[in-house]
């Protein structure tokens, strides 16, 4: 491929795009980025492009704050217009967001090859919008780049061996990013000095199944409040979730801070004692930086983390959350096990993309 359009719209995609964009430049592939605007807050969008030296998006669609259907439809319309004008050799999408599905659909309907990075992941929970997005994106893609053997197995179980698609295991590009940017974060981030954090637990809550479900959110807040009595809990929180809390509950005892950029997040991950999250990407980032993770979900795409004892799934159950905390307080684990490659995932992907 000589010219590729990359679609991004949410924080994890900015991190992944940084790794491949760097390799595209080395390989001499012309890449143009479309930013759908799915994450519109400056702290969750612009800061990533600035900090991680990702090429400035050629197109900004500024689509956010509407329902799943409206968002995906408007993205599909906007991306289609750009693809008709640009006539790329391929379209690259990451992960499982509405931006991912819209980009893949727009390209597939125009018969432009679709490259899906982080393919084959399954939570087997069709109530998750992300599960629908990733299944449909895989099905209409031309090339699927899988981070793990489990992802490849999922595709084979779904009959992808009999479909006109190429499947590659390249590793996890988020590990590339973690390894590459860890040193830069040490120099550029002052989050620890500003917050004066020492011993603490890092927590994130953003999935709608938790933030928009009053019972789930109440149980999670109760669990974090109990844990905070023993070890301070710090939560970088999206304004939307903060507003929900302010309207529904009294302010919790644990510490809420503004959303943070990638370098600040790396420093929080490196310095914390433990991670509690409902994010897919943060589960892996916890592992990359040698931290046990409690996942506020009933399923995870990253089953190898659970199987190897690095991760415990608790859903929104307060008692399970507290029990997992007690388990990890004294547990030691060997984080040197290689689950996601050796930091060469983006390089391997671009080598194959050049041949397509």
Catalytic residues: 206
CA dist 156 and 149 (Å) reads 11
CA dist 278 and 99 (Å) reads 20
CA dist 52 and 302 (Å) reads 25
CA distances for 55 relative to 8, 19, 185, 240, 350, angstroms: 12, 11, 19, 28, 17
């Amino acid at each position: 491929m000589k010219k590729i359009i990359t679609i991004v719209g949410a924080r994890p995609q900015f991190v992944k795009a940084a790794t491949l964009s760097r390799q595209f430049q080395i390989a001499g592939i012309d890449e143009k980025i479309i930013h759908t605007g799915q994450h519109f807050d400056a702290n969750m969008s612009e800061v990533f492009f600035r900090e991680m030296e990702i090429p400035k998006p050629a197109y900004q669609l500024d689509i956010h704050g509407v329902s799943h259907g409206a968002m995906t439809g408007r993205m599909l319309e906007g991306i289609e217009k750009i693809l008709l004008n640009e006539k790329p050799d391929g379209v690259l999408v990451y992960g499982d967001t509405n931006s991912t599905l819209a980009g893949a659909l727009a390209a597939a309907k125009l018969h432009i090859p679709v490259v899906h990075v982080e393919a084959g992941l399954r939570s087997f929970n069709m109530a998750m919008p992300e599960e629908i997005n990733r299944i449909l994106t895989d099905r209409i893609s031309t090339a699927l780049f899988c981070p793990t053997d489990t992802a490849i197995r999922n595709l084979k179980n779904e009959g992808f061996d009999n479909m006109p698609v190429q499947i590659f295991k390249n590793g996890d590009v988020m590990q590339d990013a973690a390894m590459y940017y860890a040193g830069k974060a040490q120099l550029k981030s002052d989050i620890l000095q500003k917050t004066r954090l020492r011993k603490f637990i890092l927590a994130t809550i953003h999935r709608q199944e938790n933030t928009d479900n009053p019972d789930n959110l109440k149980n999670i807040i109760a669990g974090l409040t109990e844990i905070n009595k023993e070890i301070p809990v710090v939560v970088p929180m999206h304004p939307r979730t903060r507003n929900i809390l302010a309207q529904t509950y009294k302010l919790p005892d644990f510490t809420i801070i503004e959303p943070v950029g990638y370098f600040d997040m790396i420093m929080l991950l490196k310095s914390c004692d433990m991670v509690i999250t409902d994010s897919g990407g943060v589960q892996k980032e916890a592992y990359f930086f040698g931290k046990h993770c409690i996942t506020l979900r009933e399923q995870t795409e990253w089953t190898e983390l659970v199987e190897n004892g690095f991760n415990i799934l608790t859903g929104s159950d307060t008692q399970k959350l507290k029990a997992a905390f007690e388990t990890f307080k004294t547990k030691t684990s060997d984080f040197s096990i290689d689950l996601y490659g050796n930091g060469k995932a983006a390089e391997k992907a671009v080598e194959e993309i050049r041949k397509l």
